[in-house]
Amino acid sequence: MADSTNYNNNDQKKTRLYNPYQDLQVPIRNLYNLPTAHEHVFIEEATKPHRSWGENLCYYTGCGYFSGAIIGGAKGSIEGLKSAEPGDTLKLRVNRVLNSGGHMGRSFGNSLGVLGLIFAGLESGVNHFRGREDLLNTIVAGLGTGALYKAASGPRSAAIAGAIGGIAAAAAVAGKQAVKRYVPI
Tell me the mean pLDDT in the region 64-75.
Answer: 95
5 confidence band (pLDDT: 50, 70, 90) = very low
pLDDT, greater one: 71 or 18: 71
Q: Residue 14's closest CA among 38, 41, 43, 35?
A: 35
Residues 136-170 have pLDDT tens digits of: 999 999 999 999 999 999 999 999 999 999 999 99
* Amino acid letter, 3: D
Beta strands (DSSP E) in the chain are 3-10, 13-18, 32-35
The CA distance from 155 to 166, in Å, is 16
**Which residues are paired to 33 by β-bridges?**
17
> What integer pLDDT is reported at residue 4 of this predicted model?
46
The CA distance from 34 to 42, in Å, is 18
Domain boundaries, the chain: 3-39, 51-129, 134-185
Does residue 98 register a pLDDT over 70? yes
